[in-house]
């Protein structure tokens, strides 16, 4: 039984369709990662540029952060896969519960402040 351990495997346990699917997934993740690096560089450039007003920079960075969050959830947390229905529903219900609380806190702080 142990005499064949020094010989390489002739074929992988995966079939060609599984290999193609994994290669496609890796390519998609590398492209998404490069896009997120680009978004981060854009955010740094927006902060570092002297001609960009601060009233534009803050919402722009928040928008870029939101896009990056969605990309990370979609591609790296595998929310795009078909068998992730329960995590998707929990995240959506969390957003539905958290969004009104955040808006209420912002309004409360705004009312108290002014």
Judgement on whether residues 73 and 88 belong to the same structural domain of the protein: no
- Count of domains forming the chain: 2
Query: Which residues span the domain enclosing 67?
Result: 15-83
For residue 6, the 8-state DSSP code is T
20-43 pLDDT, tens digit each: 988 998 999 899 999 999 999 999
CB neighbours of residue 103 within 10 Å: 10
- What residues contact 14, with CB distance under 8 A and at least 6 apart? 22
| CA 8 – CA 15 distance, rounded (Å) | 17
Note whether 89 and 103 are same-domain residues.
yes
Neighbour tally for 51: CB within 10 Å: 4
- Residue 1 in any domain: the answer is no
The pLDDT of residue 114 is 56
Asked whether residue 113 carries a pLDDT value surpassing 70, the answer given is: no
Q: 103 pLDDT exceeds 80?
A: yes
Confirm whether 54 is domain-assigned.
yes
Residues 36 and 70 in one domain: yes
The pTM of the full predicted model, rounded to 2 decimals, is 0.64
Q: Are 64 and 42 in contact (CB under 8 A)?
A: yes
């Amino acid at each position: 039984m142990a005499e064949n351990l020094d010989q390489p495997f002739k074929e992988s346990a995966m079939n060609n369709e599984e290999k193609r699917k994994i290669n496609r997934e890796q390519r998609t993740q590398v492209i998404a990662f490069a896009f997120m690096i680009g978004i981060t560089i854009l955010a740094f450039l927006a902060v570092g540029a002297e001609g960009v007003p601060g009233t534009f920079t803050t919402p722009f960075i928040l928008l870029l952060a939101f896009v990056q969050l969605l990309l990370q959830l979609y591609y790296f947390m595998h929310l795009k896969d078909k068998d992730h229905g329960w995590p998707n529903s929990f995240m959506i219900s969390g957003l539905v519960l958290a969004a009104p609380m955040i808006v209420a806190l912002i309004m409360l702080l705004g009312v108290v402040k002014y």
